[in-house]
Structures are given as structure tokens and as C-alpha cells.
């Protein structure tokens, strides 16, 4: 017999009850079998699937005087104890981060240029302008002037730090361009194959925070450029997931938030949010006749652009692949858990579990539910413990 807090039951007629009913019908003048069969159909068990939550529900209809026969659940599961987490998921793309466009600061012809995908480090030539190398150096301040003996400033300090890192010496690495610095620059230029002038022209150096990877090329070899012409795009070397989220979700994706990145093929990698920027949403455009898209053209929507770094690198063949970024938004530890399909929707509201005793008998126990996630649900209720056997929907 199954029972719940509302005393509703589902009962299956026993063979003894059926034989007794048939004997009584044979002694009557009017045929009773059709009426008994109608009663059977009316009072049979009806199982309804719980809407949307994997729960199940029993409707009971026999009188209190009927003799029940206990039948166990179709399938069972054990109550477990553990941690359950609810997550939010965003779609992203694996790449190397947002590109930085390197623009020409001189006039001339591109005679050589790094190919797309090339990894370029500090001291590498990005391209050659009229056969003079344009070199990548590390620095936060862009190259905004020609640097010569007698100059001082942060750009001089950056240049001298790079010369030291590249193995040149004989000068003091400070913010003053002395004749000792000039001698080191002369040697460096000679090694590059550049005109050894001892001064550094604005058009010959690109300062960036670190080395990178050529993400795209805007000019072919033989093409002409003017100051301001886009030459190539650089990204960082590390693998980064880029995604867009609603502005309302930016608190869930704050910098340093731990995330899980789901890769193609089912592999999962830990990661963390490294940057969050609110930007104006790009207009997606619309098709149709006049008036189509008028609403979107006047919208001032913004989005949150997010970059996530991976805890460990993955195969470069996955670059450009779509990935999922999962963030835990709620977590419960050391709680009792059951499959969602074990929940019974009670007639009076709320949920229960069909608890299976050691002797195979069952009873309905009302439970309080907590967090739902990954096909499981947090539960609590009288008599529940780790290892308790409960019925689950047999489907």
C-alpha cells in the first residue's frame, strides 16, 4: 500500500477479491460482470508524470474497506550525501584574445611581413618597410617620437630595458639616452640588418606590453602604406575564451571569478575571468523593406564583453572552436541528494519520496526540497539518511 500525507492511496485488486465479486454476480438476476469491469477501470491506478520536474504522482480511488496488495516501485535509488551546485552557462569562442592593430608610422612599401599565426617575441621584426625592420619591443608607452642622444623620458627607459633583455650592455639602464646608449643601439641595429644610425626612429619600433601572435594581415608584400595605415593585428600568446553577456550578468562574471570551460568533445578545463568590459552592442542589422529594423537602429543597448583565461593550454587545433563557460551561482555542501525522478508530487502540494523498507514495504515521506541541478535535488525530511532506498519513476 502506498500512502501520502493526504491519506490518498493507490490499490490494486487482489485475485481473491475478484473471485468473490464474480461469485456474487452469478447469484444475481441481472448480469454483474459489465458493472464490475467498469468499477475496475474507474478505480485502477493512474500514473501522471510531474510537469517539467521529473516528478510522478499517484491518484487513489478505492474505498477504505478494500484490501490492498503492496507492490514495490519499478526502480529504486539510494539517498546520497554530497555537494550540489547550480550553474549559469554562456557560449564563447576559444582564441587568443582581442587583437591589437599595428599601424604604420612611416611611408613606404611593405617588403616583408610576418605571416598570420606567427608567434612574435620581443626583438622580432613584425614587417619591413622599404627593407628596414619594424621591431616589436616591450613597453606600455607607445613610440611617439624619434629617440636620440640627449633625450630623456619613459620611452628611453623602455628602450634601454629592452636592450638589456636582448643582451646588450655597456650603458646604465635609466631614462637618459647617453652616448653609451647610442653605442649599444648602433650594435643592435647592425645585428638587425637595419641602418646603423645610433638613433631610433619612430617608424622603426612598436612598443607593446608583451610578445604575441599575428592574428591577421592587412597589407600584402609590395603594398604601400602611409602613417596610420593598418598593417597587421596582434593578439597575446595565451589561450583566451571570449564571450558576450547581458549587462545584468556582469556581477556573475567579475574579474578573478573561477569558471569551468567546456570544450568540444566533452573535456572540461578550469579557468578564471581576466577582464570584463561594458561596450555598446553591435547592430545585427535586419532584413526587410523600409521600416524594418527601425527599432534596433535607435536602440542604445550595451553588452558585457568578457575574456576568460585557461588554467592549462589545450590543443591549438581547437582555436576558433565554440565552447561553454560555466559559473557556479549557488552551492550546497554536505546535503542529502536524490534523483529528481524520485520526487512525488503530493495532492496537497509539495513533494514526497516513496521510501522502501528492508522488507520491501513502502511508505510516502514528505520532504523539503532545496537546490535542483544536474538531474539531482537536495532534500530533507523525517527519517531520511544517506543510504535510504527510495523509488524513482520507472521510465
DSSP codes joined into one string, 144-172: -S-B-TT-BSHHHHHHHHHHHHTT--SS-
Assign 374 a pLDDT band (cuts: 50, 70, 90): confident
Residues in a beta bridge with 47: 58
Residue 186, CA distances (Å) to 32, 139, 148, 182, 198 in order: 116, 20, 11, 6, 4
Q: What is the mean pLDDT of the chain?
A: 81
The pLDDT score that the predictor gives to residue 88 is 93
The pLDDT score that the predictor gives to residue 74 is 72
What's the rounded Cα separation, in Å, for the pair 210 and 287?
43
Q: Alpha-carbon dihedral of residues 89, 91, 97, 98, nearest 10 degrees?
A: -120
Assign 394 a pLDDT band (cuts: 50, 70, 90): low
Assign 17 a pLDDT band (cuts: 50, 70, 90): very low
Count other Cβ atoms within 10 Å, centred on residue 328: 15
pLDDT of 32 over the 80 cut = no
The pLDDT score that the predictor gives to residue 72 is 65
**Residue 58: which of 370, 338, 351 has the closest Cα?**
351
The pLDDT score that the predictor gives to residue 73 is 73
Average confidence (pLDDT) over 244-260? 93
The pLDDT score that the predictor gives to residue 125 is 96
Backbone phi, then psi, for 187, in 5-degree steps?
Answer: -65, -40
pLDDT of 140 over the 60 cut = yes
Residues in a beta bridge with 86: 330
**Residue 49: which of 394, 337, 389, 353 has the closest Cα?**
394
DSSP 88: E
**Residue 55: which of 349, 335, 388, 361 has the closest Cα?**
349
The pLDDT score that the predictor gives to residue 298 is 41
Element of type H or E holding 231: strand 230-235
What's the rounded Cα separation, in Å, for the pair 202 and 141?
12
Which residue segments constitute the domains of the chain, with CATH numbers given? 2-83+339-392 (no CATH), 89-96+239-282+300-330 (2.40.30.170), 100-235 (1.10.101.10)
CB 371 within 8 A of CB 330: yes
Residues in a beta bridge with 351: 345, 367
What's the rounded Cα separation, in Å, for the pair 367 and 350?
8
Query: Who wins on pLDDT, 70 or 211?
Result: 211
Count other Cβ atoms within 10 Å, centred on residue 77: 19
Average confidence (pLDDT) over 48-53? 37
The pLDDT score that the predictor gives to residue 115 is 96
Question: 179-192 vs 154-165: helix axis angle to the nearest 10?
Answer: 50
90 CB-near residues (< 8 Å, 6+ apart):
243, 244, 245, 249, 253, 306, 324, 325, 327
Q: What is the pLDDT of residues 103-116, one digit of tens each?
A: 999 999 999 999 99
Task: Count CA atoms closer than 13 A to 258's CA, side-chain side.
Answer: 4
Provide the pairing of β-strand 80-95 with 240-245. Answer: antiparallel
pLDDT of 22 over the 50 cut = no
Residues in a beta bridge with 328: 87
DSSP 222: T
pLDDT of 213 over the 50 cut = yes
pLDDT of 350 over the 50 cut = yes
CB 141 within 8 A of CB 158: yes
Count other Cβ atoms within 10 Å, centred on residue 160: 24
pLDDT of 92 over the 90 cut = yes
Query: Who wins on pLDDT, 42 or 158?
Result: 158
Assign 243 a pLDDT band (cuts: 50, 70, 90): very high
Assign 130 a pLDDT band (cuts: 50, 70, 90): very high
Amino acid at each position: 500500500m502506498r500512502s501520502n500525507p493526504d491519506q490518498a492511496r493507490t490499490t490494486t485488486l487482489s485475485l481473491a477479491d475478484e473471485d468473490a465479486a464474480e461469485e456474487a454476480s452469478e447469484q444475481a438476476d441481472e448480469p454483474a460482470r459489465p458493472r464490475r469491469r467498469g468499477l475496475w477501470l474507474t478505480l485502477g491506478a493512474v500514473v501522471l508524470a510531474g510537469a517539467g520536474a521529473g516528478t510522478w504522482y499517484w491518484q487513489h480511488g478505492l474505498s477504505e474497506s478494500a484490501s490492498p496488495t503492496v507492490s514495490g516501485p519499478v526502480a529504486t535509488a539510494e539517498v546520497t550525501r554530497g555537494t550540489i551546485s547550480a550553474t549559469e552557462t554562456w557560449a564563447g569562442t576559444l582564441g587568443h584574445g582581442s587583437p591589437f592593430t599595428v599601424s604604420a608610422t612611416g611611408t613606404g612599401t611593405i617588403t616583408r611581413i610576418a605571416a598570420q599565426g606567427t608567434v612574435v617575441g620581443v626583438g622580432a621584426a613584425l614587417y619591413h618597410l622599404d627593407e628596414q625592420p619594424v621591431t616589436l619591443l616591450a613597453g606600455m608607452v607607445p613610440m611617439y617620437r624619434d629617440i636620440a642622444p640627449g633625450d630623456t623620458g619613459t620611452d628611453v627607459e623602455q628602450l634601454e630595458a629592452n636592450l638589456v633583455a636582448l643582451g646588450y650592455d655597456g650603458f646604465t639602464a635609466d631614462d637618459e639616452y647617453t652616448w653609451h646608449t647610442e653605442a649599444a643601439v648602433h650594435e643592435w641595429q647592425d645585428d638587425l640588418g637595419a641602418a646603423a644610425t645610433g638613433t631610433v626612429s619612430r617608424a622603426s619600433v612598436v612598443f607593446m606590453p608583451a610578445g604575441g601572435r599575428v592574428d591577421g594581415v592587412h597589407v600584402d608584400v609590395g603594398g604601400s602604406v602611409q602613417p596610420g595605415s593598418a598593417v597587421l593585428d596582434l593578439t597575446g600568446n595565451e589561450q583566451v575564451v571570449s564571450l558576450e553577456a547581458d549587462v545584468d550578468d556582469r556581477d556573475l562574471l567579475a574579474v578573478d571569478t573561477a569558471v569551468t570551460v567546456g570544450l568540444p568533445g566533452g573535456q572540461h578545463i578550469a579557468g578564471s575571468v581576466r577582464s570584463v568590459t561594458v561596450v555598446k552592442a553591435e547592430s545585427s542589422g535586419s532584413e526587410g523593406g523600409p521600416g524594418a529594423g527601425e527599432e534596433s537602429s535607435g536602440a542604445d543597448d550595451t553588452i558585457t564583453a568578457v575574456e576568460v583565461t585557461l588554467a592549462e593550454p589545450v590543443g591549438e587545433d581547437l582555436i576558433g572552436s565554440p565552447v561553454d563557460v560555466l559559473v557556479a551561482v549557488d552551492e550546497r555542501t554536505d546535503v542529502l541528494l536524490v534523483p529528481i525522478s524520485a520526487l512525488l508530487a503530493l495532492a496537497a502540494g509539495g513533494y514526497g519520496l516513496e521510501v522502501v523498507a528492508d522488507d520491501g514495504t513502502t511508505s510516502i515521506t514528505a520532504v523539503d526540497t532545496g537546490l535542483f541541478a544536474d538531474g539531482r535535488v537536495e532534500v530533507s525530511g523525517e527519517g531520511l539518511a544517506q543510504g535510504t532506498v527510495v523509488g524513482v519513476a520507472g521510465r
